[in-house]
């Protein structure tokens, strides 16, 4: 993919500053809010059933993250998601820990069945579980997939009817036909809690300003990965890397992304 495409999307996020409504987990909620701001969008974290339908009506995208799941939260996700679907607002689903418990896996299937999901963003283990091709998770961490990652992501996209954004050593984004391989990023991003959740927030910001959600999802991972590459230069350990990751995404210019985005289309 020509680097000017993700660069233009980053510029559009900064210009339009879309509101990103999150119903997310309690572990990384603050990180997700701040990474949304660093991307150039505006976050809101609201999950009270009494207000989610009103809140999502003002948003450019909705993020549903099941990291710290409860029955009440599921109902809020369904209410917000249905309202978003009615209004044509894209929904990004992060199936954190799908495959770890029956409750998590069943909740993801329920959301996929009840809602129109624009992008399903998960790690390799989660996507493998949902594709039915073999995947493993330990808690909320990926244990990998049994087969070829590209075909696993493709099968998941075909099965669910969504765009799949699968993070890993090489990120894979596919609509079931087109495949984008994103080679930006550094290993340090896998050693820090919350980077997967943050990637969903960045994805939502890019999707909110785009017509082609697969391209937007790939561009978002390239931007987030590029910020990680820049952060790794000065970081001394996991927490200094975390701080630098926010700083580098906030300071990432469209020109830098145009030069350094590494997105291969197959």
Q: What is the pLDDT of residue 263?
A: 98
- So what's the pLDDT on residue 132? 86
Residue 190 DSSP one-character state: G
What would the two tokens of residue 64 be? 């549903």
In angstroms, the Cα distances linking 75 to 10, 50, 112, 140, 206 are: 33, 11, 14, 22, 26
For the chain of 266 residues, list the mean pLDDT of each consecutive stretch of 10.
Answer: 97 98 96 98 96 97 96 97 98 94 95 98 94 60 66 96 96 97 95 94 98 98 98 94 97 98 96
Q: Is 55 helix (H, G, I), strand (E, B) or coil?
A: helix
SS3 state at 177: coil
**H or E, element range at 138:** strand 135-138
The candidate with the shortest Cα–Cα distance to 12, out of 223, 232, 226, 231, is 223
42-48, Cβ contacts within 8 angstroms, sequence gap of 24 or more: 42/17, 42/18, 43/19, 43/201, 44/19, 44/20, 46/21, 46/22, 47/23, 47/73, 47/76, 47/77, 47/80, 48/76
Domain ranges, residue 258: 4-265
What pLDDT is stored for residue 100 in this prediction?
86
Provide the pLDDT for residue 146: 58
Helix (H) / strand (E) element for 19: namely strand 19-23
What's the pTM? 0.94
> What pLDDT is stored for residue 183 in this prediction?
98
Check: CB of residue 72 under 8 Å from CB of residue 52.
Answer: no
Q: Which residue has the tokens 């910001």?
A: 205
CATH number at residue 178: 3.40.1190.20
The tally of domains found in the chain comes to 1
| Cβ-based neighbours of 205, under 8 Å, separated by 6 or more | 13, 18, 20, 36, 39, 40, 41, 60, 61, 220
Helices (H) and strands (E) in the chain, counts: 11, 11
Whole-number Cα distances in Å, 229 to 42, 82, 128: 24, 37, 27
- Residue 180: in which H helix or E strand, if any? strand 179-182
């Amino acid at each position: 993919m020509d680097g000017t495409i993700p660069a233009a999307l980053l510029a559009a996020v900064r210009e339009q500053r879309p509101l990103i409504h999150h119903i997310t987990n309690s572990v990384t909620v603050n990180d997700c809010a701040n990474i949304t701001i660093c991307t150039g969008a505006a976050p809101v974290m609201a999950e009270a059933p009494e207000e989610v339908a009103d809140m999502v009506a003002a948003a450019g995208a909705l993020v549903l993250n099941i990291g710290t799941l409860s029955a009440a939260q599921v109902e809020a996700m369904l209410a917000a998601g249905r309202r978003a679907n009615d209004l044509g607002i894209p929904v990004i689903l992060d199936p954190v820990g799908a495959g770890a418990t029956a409750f998590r896996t069943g909740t993801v299937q329920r959301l996929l069945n009840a809602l129109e999901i624009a992008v399903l963003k998960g790690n390799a283990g989660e996507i493998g579980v949902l594709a039915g091709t073999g995947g493993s998770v330990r808690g909320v961490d990926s244990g990998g997939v049994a087969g070829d990652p590209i075909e696993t992501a493709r099968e998941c996209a075909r099965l669910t009817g969504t765009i799949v954004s699968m993070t890993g050593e090489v990120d894979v984004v596919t609509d079931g036909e087109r495949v984008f391989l994103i080679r930006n990023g550094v290993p340090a991003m896998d050693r820090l809690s919350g980077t997967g959740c943050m990637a969903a927030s960045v994805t939502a910001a890019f999707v909110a300003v785009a017509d082609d959600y697969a391209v937007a999802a790939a561009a978002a991972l390239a931007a987030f990965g590029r910020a990680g590459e820049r952060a790794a230069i000065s970081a001394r350990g996991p927490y200094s890397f975390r701080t630098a990751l926010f700083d580098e995404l906030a300071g990432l210019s469209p020109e830098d992304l145009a030069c350094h985005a590494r997105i291969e289309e197959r």
